[in-house]
């Protein structure tokens, strides 16, 4: 089993790859895959990772609150993407979503994850990783 940081980083790479595929193909089905991946990822972070971050990491409550605000922004954009019929508008919204996700990923990978790794310990990170992976597989 991978630790939770490795699992979440893999999710980040998956979404980054999908954004790249959309940029080259402009395929609408990729947009829905991006939205689905982000829906699942944000849900798992908010249900499993952020409660642990809040209670087990110094400064964690502020980090979790900031991340949840970024998730709300992403959810708003995803909703707007799903409601839009105009492909050019969708493409603009996807670009905006990509920028928001890149900022969120940077925050997590440069600030949140290193703090979790230094303060939570390997066993706890593995436990959270197992929980996230088990929720993903159904």
pLDDT at 18 over 70: yes
**What pLDDT sits at residue 114?**
98
**What pLDDT sits at residue 38?**
98
Specify whether the CB–CB gap between 111 and 63 falls below 8 A. Answer: yes
Tell me: the pLDDT tens digits for 67-111?
999 999 999 999 999 999 999 999 999 999 999 999 999 999 999
What is the chain's mean pLDDT, rounded?
A: 97
Tell me: the pLDDT tens digits for 100-128?
999 999 999 999 999 999 999 999 999 99
pTM for the model stands at 0.95
């Amino acid at each position: 089993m991978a630790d939770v940081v490795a699992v979440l980083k893999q999710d980040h790479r998956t979404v980054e790859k999908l954004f790249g595929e959309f940029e080259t193909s402009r395929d609408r089905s990729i947009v829905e895959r991006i939205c689905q991946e982000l829906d699942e990822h944000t849900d798992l972070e908010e249900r499993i990772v952020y409660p642990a971050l809040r209670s087990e990491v110094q400064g964690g409550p502020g980090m979790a609150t900031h991340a949840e605000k970024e998730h709300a922004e992403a959810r708003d954009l995803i909703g707007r993407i799903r409601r839009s019929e105009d492909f050019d508008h969708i493409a603009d919204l996807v670009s905006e979503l990509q920028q928001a996700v890149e900022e969120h990923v940077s925050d997590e990978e440069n600030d949140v994850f290193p703090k979790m790794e230094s303060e939570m310990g390997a066993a706890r990170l593995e436990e959270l990783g197992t929980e996230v992976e088990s929720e993903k597989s159904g």
